Amino acid sequence: MYFLIRVAYDGSKYYGFQRLKENNSVQKSIEDALTIINKKRVVVKGAGRTDRGVHALDQCVSFKLDVSINEEGLRKALNSLIGPYIYVKSVEIVDSSFHARFSVDKKMYLYKINLGEYNPLLSDYVYQCKYKLDIDKMKKVAKKYIGIHDFSNFVSGERESNECIIYDITFEKKGDILEIRFLGKSFYRYMVRNLVGMMIEVSRGKEDISKVETMLNAKKDLPSITAPACGLYLEKVFY
């Protein structure tokens, strides 16, 4: 049977999603639990590889099991084995052709910034910015990102193409917390954090907005500013 699970996790407790040889990861924790249930090694596929310190509210994971088990039984069994920093929200039976990563239609990422007084209880869950930010300037930068662009100057790693599409970027202030949401087809490593980093640099007057246009139209030769991992969440995956 083939399954899709939607999970939330506290990224501050793991060395990222992807399985590592030595350090604890979200993928390893899920695979170890599924292997106990399946009584045979299970390998899972995630919708995205969140980095160390990055959280998820709706990471999606697909896999195959040899044992017969219903959706609710699997959800309860997994949650009894992987808590307390990973939680399986839902389980769905899917077709054998389904792939958590390659079947994705859109993803939404959320970035949180504390604009108020430093709060030690939030240190792992928001970027506690020490600068006074001009949100209107940040919105102007965000408009430059929307559409199809070559994001080579905003990503890490090598691939054939860094071209992708961002459909929308929205801003919402909840008390002292600024929430920025990015909706797009795909996002590469450090991309959202670098996009936020440039917003902040322009907002505080360290960079001119014209540099954003230059970075979007040039190959990878301009350094980007990376916002901290603690403020980033994979909020929703759409299929």
Contact 97, 166 (CB under 8 A): no
Cα angle 221, 171, 126 (rounded to 5 degrees) comes to: 75
- In the set 10, 32, 51, 150, the catalytic residue is 51
d(C-alpha 132, C-alpha 135), whole Å:
9
Contact 209, 137 (CB under 8 A): yes
**Of 110, 86, 83, residue with least CA distance to 7:** 86
Tokens standing for residue 183: 């909706």
Residue 121 has a CB neighbour count (10 Å cut-off) of 6
Residues ≥6 apart with Cβ < 8 Å to 110 = 57, 179, 180, 181, 182, 232, 233, 235
State yes or no: is 134 an active-site residue.
no
Residues ≥6 apart with Cβ < 8 Å to 46 = 17, 18, 26, 27, 59, 60, 61, 100, 101
d(C-alpha 99, C-alpha 154), whole Å:
27
Residues ≥6 apart with Cβ < 8 Å to 199 = 137, 138, 141, 142, 180
| Residues taking part in catalysis | 51
